Amino acid sequence: RMVEQHTRLTEEKSALSEDRVRLEAELNALKNRGFWSRLFGG
């Protein structure tokens, strides 16, 4: 039973880190878009 709980915890952690990575990627994309649009006077 303890092993099951531990496995579930690790799965949740990996899902959380995946979400965080995706969020950071989206943030970077937004920053880059704003940077390029300013650069080209968009």
Is 0.75 topped by the overall pTM?
no
Which residue is it, tokens 């915890």?
9
Given a cut of 90, whether residue 1 has pLDDT beyond it is: no
Q: What is the SS3 assignment for 16? A: helix
Q: What is the pLDDT of residues 6-25, one digit of tens each?
A: 899 999 999 999 999 999 99
At 37, the pLDDT band (50, 70, 90 cuts) reads: confident
* Cβ atoms < 10 Å from Cβ of 37: 10
Token pair of 12, please? 């949740």
d(CA 1, CA 17): 25
Residue 22, by phi and psi: left (phi above 0), alpha (psi -120 to 50) or beta? alpha
